[in-house]
Amino acid sequence: MSAGGGDVVLEVTDLAKVYPPATQALRGVDLELRAGEIHGLLGANGAGKSSLIKILSGVEAPTSGTIRIAGRGHVAFAGPSDALGAGIGVVHQELPLFPNLTAAENVALGQQAGGFLGGRRRREVNAAYDRIAASFPGAPPADTMLEAVGLQGWQLTAIIRARMTNARVLILDEPTSSLNPEERRLLHANLAEVARSGTAILYVSHFLDDVLDVCDVVTVLRDGKRVMSRAAEGLSEDQLLHAMVGEGKRGPAKRSGGVPGDTADGLVVRGLRAPGIGPVDLDVPTGACIGLYGLEDAGCAEILRVIYGLLPGSGRIAWRGRPLRGDTRTRIEAGIGFVSGDRPRTLIGDWLVAMNYGLVDLGSRPFAARLDRAAERRKAEASIAALEIKGRADQPLRTLSGGNQQKVALGRWLDRSGICILADEPTRGVDVRGRTAIHEGLVRLCDAGNAVLVRSTDPEELVELCNRVVVLVAGRVSRVLSGEALTTERIEASTRTKVRADGGVPLGAHP
Amino acid sequence: MKAGLSGRNVELIRRLRDYAVLIVLLAICAYLAVATDTFASIRNLANVSEQISVVGIVAMGMTMLLISANLDLSVGGQVALIGVVIARVMNGVGIWPALVAAVLVGLVLGLVNGLIVTRLKVNSLVATLGSGLAFGGFAFLASGSQPIVLADRALQAFMSGHFAAVPVPTWIFLAAIAFSAWFLHLTVGGRELFAIGANAEAARYAGIRVDRVALIPFVFTGVFCAFAAMILTALLNTASPNAGAQLPLQVIAAVVVGGVSIAGGRGTIFMAVVGVLLIGVVGNGFNLLNIDPTYQNIFTGVIIVVAVAIDSAMRALGARASAPADSADPAP
């Protein structure tokens, strides 16, 4: 933790935001950010976090209220560049960087006149990058193309970019949503470093433990209002949860320890191989939820996609005793479904909710078959009712909150029985309530005799959800944890049980 | 204010924009009906519908291609080559074999384009730019670089005829519209075209065989080119290897003016038809008003740019409207 308690650099007073016709996202929010403090901002989906960030970063204008910046007085941003000019840097949830440029180029972008980076200019840019990157362990080398680095590298590049603009306020939107614990620790150390230099950090997250771990001050929004703002010291997760959700539902869907169901009748994977992966054996009995955990290069995400037929791989895969072959379509027909936390990749935001429900049924019907809009609508409405989705079948999907979109992603598969759901970060960027609802949905699915194989970078999620967790290191099974042994500590520890075959240190494990 | 647009308001503006083209079309028609004696006559309207049929038929295929986020610049080369095939086979064998050959060649050319794009993973713009040049070259080879006059005038007589006061080419255009509207809007395959154009990766995750689906509109376009070539060759009673040089841009212009998004995933057959009609009526109007055709190009050019500019403004607006994702929940 950093010292905090400096001068107020940013003061928000009575900020309100109305989205016509009748959505009031912010109802008079106050917020003070002090130099050198890490300020946590918590809230369930719909609490107004995103609106507040958008206003502070100049993407949207407030309906009423004022923003004051030390030394500049009251400010009104006409666009993101105004906010940047006023010293507010934002690291977004969907990091807006360019995979086809190097880390240093990404950082230099937008700060200097554009143009070809040749010879001397390139050396200057790289040197400037290195000066700042030196204080961030784990930062990608200046010359690395961003497409070659993991999410953590992207994030650090974004932070370095914000540092380079001498941001007085740095806003981080869900910075840890896809990081493993090691990477989180590193990020937090880096943030403390940034704060020490006098920058105020607004840390927006739905991970209570992260906020308590790194923040000096915590502000909680609920229904567009500030319901709490106080020093983090002495706060408990329960207090925060209570502030966030009020008297509503809370607490995760707990699974009992044992592994029910029939192994032979479930998803059976033998000798699965893909580039950098395998051989891997997995058993997902019907009625069970099995977790996959590993560092970024462990291959968990790839294994799910090999099983789903999206990536090539070899080995025997069977579901309910029948071998899975061919492409994704034949696997869907065999009863496999895929739910990804990366919603823009698997859902179509411009389409109506009902059309997104119909999307997964298209492939198995002939081209010339009649499009049954009534059926897809019925499917959507049944699922909206069953999963308590806030939204209608006939509204564009992108107007739903992240949590509700995620329920749609899951609900699309639930109209059939005897299915195996492959879930990849199923609650990424989803708030506490949404997360609980999705967990309950997955648990109910298991209880009904289906199977779930879930990959998550959050050990806590796996402990809550799974009967058994398979930990992978460098593409191989390192340990299988269940029963008493299934704890977050054991999961994390298992990623360090084996050094990679090439003798290197797994990503994110630098000192 | 612009930041405060909700999703529903954007839908409204989008719909207004769709109808704006229709309103412009109706306004131009109304103006021409008043300003000229001839525009509103049955004969002139039949004439216009016949003139736009070639562009219109090909535009149906192009609409499906744009919606699936592809494009076909080879339609000119296809029409030229198929025209020469029709003339050769007709003069050598007969009229029915010629028509069958036309459809088969259209099918094959479409398949070639589609396979280059889906199997060899060549960007459709580049692939069809190349294949179009090649098809045009084959047309010159097959014709000996000379226009070929049809010996049998039966095809010309048929295509110049009318059914129920409607020219035969117009009937073919109407059939193309009906088929395309059915496929695009009422079948599973049509919805899949929208899916791969809107988000190919989401389509893949949903088990849609993206490569196979992407092939379909190329084949349709090839077959539509065959019918366009029949009309063009018949009306002139001649197959020219130069035919169709302007066709790709005319077709894309008409479709885009109608409001079909060049970025894929958005558009309707109705929009495309309105766009084809607009371009056709404007051309007819310039004729009737005796305005230098040069101005027609300028006018059409401006319409195209304005239409695309509005389209991208809509897309930006859509992105803005989706921005307050976790706060724009409608009241339950």
- From the list A362, A369, A370, the residue facing B206 with the nearest CB is A362
HEC profile for A86-153?
Answer: CCEEEECCCCCCCCCCEHHHHHHCCCCCCCCCCHHHHHHHHHHHHHHHCCCCCCCCCCCEHHHCCHHH
Mean pLDDT over the full length of chain B: 89
Taking contacts as CB-CB distances below 8 angstroms, the residues of chain B near A60 are 3, 323-324
HEC profile for chain B?
Answer: CHHHCCHHHHHHHHHHHHHHHHHHHHHHHHHHHHHCCCCCCHHHHHHHHHHHHHHHHHHHHHHHHHHCCCCCCCHHHHHHHHHHHHHHHHHHCCHHHHHHHHHHHHHHHHHHHHHHHHCCCCCHHHHHHHHHHHHHHHHHHHHCCCCEECCCCHHHHHHCCEECCEEHHHHHHHHHHHHHHHHHHHEHHHHHHHHHHHCHHHHHHCCCCHHHHHHHHHHHHHHHHHHHHHHHHHHHCEECCCCCCCHHHHHHHHHHHHCCCCCCCCCCHHHHHHHHHHHHHHHHHHHHCCCCHHHHHHHHHHHHHHHHHHHHHHHHHHHHHHCCCCCCCCCC
Q: Taking the CA of residue A302 as centre, how many other CA atoms within 13 Å lie in the half-sphere pointing to its CB?
A: 21
Segments forming the whole domain that contains residue B115: 2-322
CA-based nearest distance B212→chain A, Å: 10
Residue B103 domain-assigned (yes or no): yes
Q: What structural domains and CATH numbers belong to chain A?
A: 1-87+167-248 (3.40.50.300), 267-494 (3.40.50.300)
Question: Which of 199-228 (A) contact B at CB < 8 A?
Answer: 224
Interface A-B: count of C-beta contacts within 8 A: 167
Residue B83 domain-assigned (yes or no): yes
- From the list B188, B205, B332, the residue facing A390 with the nearest CB is B332
Among A159-163, A223-227, A455-459, B22-26, the least confident range = A159-163
Residue B241 domain-assigned (yes or no): yes
Rounded to two decimals, what is the model's pTM?
0.73
Give the neighbor-by-neighbor strand order of the sheet with A8-19.
A23-34, A8-19, A64-69, A73-75
Residue B329 domain-assigned (yes or no): no
Q: What pLDDT sits at residue A366?
A: 92
Among A438-452, A497-511, B6-20, the least confident range = A497-511
Residue B185: pLDDT over 70: yes
Residue B271 domain-assigned (yes or no): yes
Q: Could you tell me which residue, A17 or A297, shows the higher pLDDT?
A: A17
pLDDT confidence tier of residue B46, bands split at 50, 70 and 90: very high
Q: What pLDDT sits at residue A4?
A: 46
pLDDT digits (tens, 9 = 90+) for A251-293: 344 444 455 555 678 899 999 999 889 799 999 998 899 999 9
Q: What pLDDT sits at residue A420?
A: 95
Residue B327 domain-assigned (yes or no): no
CB contact, 8 Å: A348 with chain B? yes
- The mean pLDDT value for B223-247 works out to 94
Q: What pLDDT sits at residue A24?
A: 76
Q: What pLDDT sits at residue A246?
A: 65
Distance in angstroms (rounded) separating the CA atoms of residues B80 and B217:
20
Among A53-57, B14-18, B209-213, B326-330, the least confident range = B326-330
Taking contacts as CB-CB distances below 8 angstroms, the residues of chain A near B321 are 398-399
Taking contacts as CB-CB distances below 8 angstroms, the residues of chain B near A347 are 199, 202
- The mean pLDDT value for B40-63 works out to 94
Considering only CA atoms, which of A163, A3, A188, A4 is closest in space to residue A87?
A163
Taking contacts as CB-CB distances below 8 angstroms, the residues of chain A near B188 are 362, 365-371
- Per the listing, tokens 């000019």 go with A85
- The mean pLDDT value for B31-42 works out to 91
CB contact, 8 Å: B2 with chain A? no
Which of A21-35, A127-141, A156-170, B268-282 tops mean pLDDT? B268-282
Residue B331 domain-assigned (yes or no): no
Yes or no: say if B307 and B257 are a contact pair by the CB < 8 Å rule. Answer: yes
Residue B240 domain-assigned (yes or no): yes
**CATH for B47:** 1.10.3470
A404 and B329 within 8 Å at the Cβ level: the answer is yes
The fraction of chain B above a pLDDT of 90, given in percent, is 70
Number of domains in chain B: 1
Residue B301: pLDDT over 90: no
CB contact, 8 Å: B322 with chain A? yes
pLDDT digits (tens, 9 = 90+) for A337-372: 999 988 888 999 999 999 999 999 999 899 999 999
How much is the ipTM here? 0.86
Q: Could you tell me which residue, A379 or A223, shows the higher pLDDT?
A: A379
- Per the listing, tokens 């650090």 go with A156
